[in-house]
Structure 1
Amino acid sequence: MSKIKIVADSSAGLTDEEIKKYDITIVPLSVMIDGTVYVERETITNDQFPTMMKNAKSLPKTSQPPIGKFVDAFDQAGADGSEVLCVTMMASISGTVHAAEQAANLTKTKVTVYDCQSTDRGMAFQIIEAAKVIADGGTVDDAIAKMKDVLQKSKLYLAIDNLDNLVAGGRISKFAGALSRFMNIKVMLQVYDGEIHVASKGRGMKAIHKEWDKILDEMANGPKVLGVGISHVEGMSEVERLKEKVQAICPELPIVVRETVPIIATHTGLGACCLLYYTE
């Protein structure tokens, strides 16, 4: 039986320890800031990006990895006869899955490309569980079945502090953005079925806190939580409030807190805060 290796794009919210432990190959996305291209995990970090975005003359532009980067990763992973499971972020926010699929047709390595319909720590939960299945002798199909199961039991909520980046990126109209700024509208988004949906909106942080409390109540009274993460874009004040409440619900679980990746931060803007978890 050939060995199976996992390749993932850099939007996966994996820690360096997890990447090493499960031998994950990361293919980086890139971001252009004022004409200069930066490569995630190579020439720019998640922690550096918010300040660079804040000081940029215009909204940064993100792009999926070049097809050649995936081909190189697949060739290298398959050099010893291994097959590859390539996990990418959801297609609704990036064309990464399509680049990986094209690369899979150009390599001699046997590659299965899977759109995990999530990103960040939600993507990491799936990859880690898939890696465990593979370590136990499972097939690529077994690993994908496990990822689908984790996805069905996952939640991803994202609070947006302001809509400026969504306006600049053409995601919403300038009028809607100006109106929301005037009325101090905050938005809570939820990711499901591989798409971003508006869960709620209201005036001021009080509305967001009320929505977080409702989400946390659902979390506390639902199935046992197996993994949890909080990602943000320079949103530490909100993170600390959220982390304290989550820790009270899941005192035995480590909470991975991290600045999110540039492709997410570009859309959400500064102050965004995201809760991701999965259950039994």
Structure 2
Amino acid sequence: MTKTIFITGASKGFGKIWTEAFLKRGDNVVATARNTDALSDLVKQYGKQILTLPLNVNDREASFTAIKKAKEHFGRLDVVINNAGYGLFGAVEEASEKEARDQIETNVFGLLWITQAALPIMREQGKGHIIQISSALGVVTLPALGLYNATKWAIEGLSESLAAEVKGFGIDVTIVEPNGYSTDFGSGSATHTTAIPAYDPVKAALYAGFTEDSTGLPEATAEAMLKLTAVENPPLRLFLGKVGLPWVKQVYAERMAVWESWKEVSEKAQGK
């Protein structure tokens, strides 16, 4: 069945790759981005299948308007993919107030506005699928990405609660958690704090970990997204790549061991 898919951050990286994959499958796609010029090739190739809308997700009113236009244009809204976002590289101490607020504004509030705008339409339909693009860093963390980690952890908590709230309306929620991929996440799309030299060794260790072997090919994720948007009972969480799940299993094993070692202290804190 042809689906209508709304996706933010569609002009490059994962967003454009997935947009093209959905169009090839025959879906209708509402592709949004701050600058939609990069989508002109897809408009030329797929014509009426694609509607491009300029959108800054930080603008709540504009987000609601974009969702409304999508519904009016294609008549329904089957899947919403909150993909817009970026990374702020730098130690927590280094982040300025503006950098911190901008990071949270885009990655968390931008996702929230689109989600809130889509829910009434999906409730009325009695069906829908909201896909939140988080990260493996929404489950585990890396140093020198503290503000980015914080936004992805916020998405995890918001979306897991949301899934329980809307399940009875026929709406599914999936949190997608990619590991590192060779997109422009760490280059063109990234912002960097003003360095405090004391943190240089921490950053050097972080960047050394971004090797060719540890990063995936962005194009390889299209098949997973096609499957995710086609199944009747999608999972609450989906890792993309080979690195995330083993890493999370290791980290959670370590956490469980520490929590168990403090179990007596924790239980006494109950007070009865």
Same fold (TM over 0.5): no
Q: Which has the higher strand share?
A: 1
TM-score for both structures, normalised by structure 1 = 0.31
Q: Which has the higher helix share?
A: 2
